[in-house]
């Protein structure tokens, strides 16, 4: 079985492209991981997730431990077999979900006790149990249990959560190394915390490097802070992390955020935006986001993008997509979620190619120019024909 490994193939400034080897396949980096929270990609078949270009997906420890249960999944052959996804999987630790259940949980030195949102049962999640659950699931990459807090926050609270997360990181590492049941080749990542405080982030990053992990994540972002705060944290932390280990920015996924984070040396990303916004009628395209709820598309016969790899973007008129969205038809959510997953994977493929060619800055400029130009205005001719002059594609 292939052991976990990471290599960097090319660099362009701080941005880099390479590959992560896992027991279930290769992950090309920079990589965007679609989020299959409860063991499913909402509205998207797994074969379409793979066809979009995704090498790896994310599963949620919190939700899977509650339903159907990690022990049951293990008994049925593990998460890869359970999902019929024979490719790499990363599982988060559940820390973010525990944060979102602030009124239903109690955090202590030993771990977190919370009340299940499903049936009210009292559940305990310790660092050791978080590792055990992810071992039972059999994910290729497991995450340490951490405490994620919302921003802004008092420094004292940021430091408390950061130091607790460090203590849990040490316990997760010991549990992971001592586990006799985990498959060879799997990896455990540590998570840098510290809110928006540079000093706390520095302390966390250095301590995690001393503990030693196969990869490192920056957590506690995309929780309400403005973009400049997120970028400041990345600029502080990324240079402190080993260059020979993957760097994962958790929960971040607006297209411009991806460009900015890659420019600062990040390798992995996940976010629910492509599917969540697709379910609400928003399509991501090289012309920028297109809100199909807008009445201007009611008679627009053009496809979203005739040059896209995605059948949903090529083969359906905007008027039809508008109709599906307004009628709350399930097919509309499915098609737009597919469109968005393809767009995100094409964006990442473009990023990787541009870095390899030493043209990442040029790629970013052309991509942003396309977003800024926006979609062409609807004309009488466009209502009767799907042909139009397309803006130039990013390199």
Given 12, 92, 140, 346, which residue is catalytic? 92
Q: What's phi and psi for 308, nearest 5 deg?
A: -70, 155
Instruction: Judge contact between 294 and 325, C-beta under 8 A.
Output: no
Site of tokens 């297209």: 255
Q: Which residues contact 168 (CB under 8 A, 6 or more apart)?
A: 111, 127, 144, 145, 146, 147
Could you give the CA distance from residue 360 to residue 109 in angstroms, rounded to a whole number?
44
Cβ(245)–Cβ(215) below 8 Å: yes
The helix/strand/coil state of 271 is strand
* Known active-site residue 270: yes
Sheet holding 122-125, edge to edge: 105-107, 112-115, 122-125
346 is catalytic: no
CA distances from 239 to 136, 251, 264, 265, 322 (A): 34, 20, 9, 8, 45
Catalytic position from the list 270, 300, 346, 375: 270
Determine the angle formed by the axes of helices 198-211 and 227-237, rounding to 10 degrees.
Answer: 40
SS3 content of the chain, % helix, strand, coil (to 5): 45, 20, 35
Any alpha helices (H) in 179-263, and if so which ranges?
198-211, 227-237, 255-263
Q: Is the Cα torsion angle 153, 154, 155, 158 positive or negative in sign?
A: negative
The catalytic residue positions are 92, 270
């Amino acid at each position: 079985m292939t052991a976990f490994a990471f290599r960097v193939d090319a660099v362009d400034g701080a941005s880099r492209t390479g590959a992560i080897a896992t027991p279930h396949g290769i992950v090309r980096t920079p990589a965007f991981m679609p989020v299959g929270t409860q063991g499913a990609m909402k509205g998207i078949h797994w074969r379409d997730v793979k066809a979009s270009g995704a090498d790896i997906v994310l599963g949620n420890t919190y939700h899977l431990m509650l339903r159907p249960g990690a022990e049951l999944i293990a008994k049925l052959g593990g998460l890869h077999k359970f999902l019929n996804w024979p490719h790499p999987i990363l599982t988060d630790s559940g820390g973010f979900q525990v944060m979102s259940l602030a009124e239903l949980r109690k955090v202590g030195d030993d771990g977190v006790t919370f009340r299940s949102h499903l049936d009210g049962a009292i559940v305990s999640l310790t660092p050791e149990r978080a590792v055990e659950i992810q071992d039972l699931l059999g994910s290729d990459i497991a995450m340490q249990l951490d405490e994620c807090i919302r921003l802004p926050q008092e420094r004292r609270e940021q430091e408390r959560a950061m130091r607790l997360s460090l203590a849990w990181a040490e316990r997760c590492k010991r549990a992971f190394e001592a586990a006799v049941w985990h498959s060879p080749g799997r990896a455990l990542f540590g998570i840098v915390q510290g809110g928006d405080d540079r000093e706390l982030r520095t302390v966390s990053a250095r301590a995690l490097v001393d503990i030693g992990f196969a990869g490192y994540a920056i957590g506690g972002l995309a929780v309400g802070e403005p973009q400049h705060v997120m970028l400041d944290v990345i600029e502080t932390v990324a240079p402190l992390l080993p260059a020979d280990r993957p760097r994962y920015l958790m929960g971040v996924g607006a297209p411009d955020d991806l460009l900015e984070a890659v420019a600062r040396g990040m390798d992995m990303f996940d976010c629910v935006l492509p599917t969540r916004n697709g379910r609400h009628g928003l399509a991501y395209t090289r012309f920028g986001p297109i809100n199909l709820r807008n009445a201007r598309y009611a008679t627009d016969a053009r496809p979203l993008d005739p040059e896209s790899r995605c059948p949903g973007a090529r083969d359906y008129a905007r008027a039809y997509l508008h109709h599906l969205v307004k009628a709350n038809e399930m097919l509309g959510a499915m098609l737009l979620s597919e469109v968005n997953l393809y767009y995100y994977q094409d964006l990442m493929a473009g990023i990787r190619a541009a870095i390899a060619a030493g043209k990442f800055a040029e790629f970013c400029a052309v991509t942003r120019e396309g977003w800024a130009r926006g979609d062409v205005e609807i004309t009488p001719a466009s209502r009767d024909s799907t042909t139009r002059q397309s803006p130039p594609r990013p390199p």
